Amino acid sequence: MTDAILVLNGGSSSLKFAVFQWRDELHLLVRGSVSSIGERPRLHVAPTAMTPLFDRSLGEQPISIGKAFEAVASYLADRGLLGRVRRVGHRIVHGGREFARATLLDERTLGALRRLEPLAPIHQAINLE
- Ordered structural domains, the chain, with CATH: 4-91 (3.30.420.40), 94-129 (no CATH)
26-35 β-sheet, strand order: 54-57, 42-46, 26-35, 15-22, 4-10, 85-91
- State the average pLDDT over residues 96-111: 83
- pLDDT tens figures, 49-73: 878 899 999 999 999 999 999 999 9
Can you tell me the distance from the alpha carbon of 119 to that of 104, in angstroms, rounded to the nearest whole number?
A: 21
**Which H/E stretch holds residue 17?**
strand 15-22
| CB-based burial label for 54 (10 Å; 0-12, 13-18, 19+) | middle
pTM: 0.83
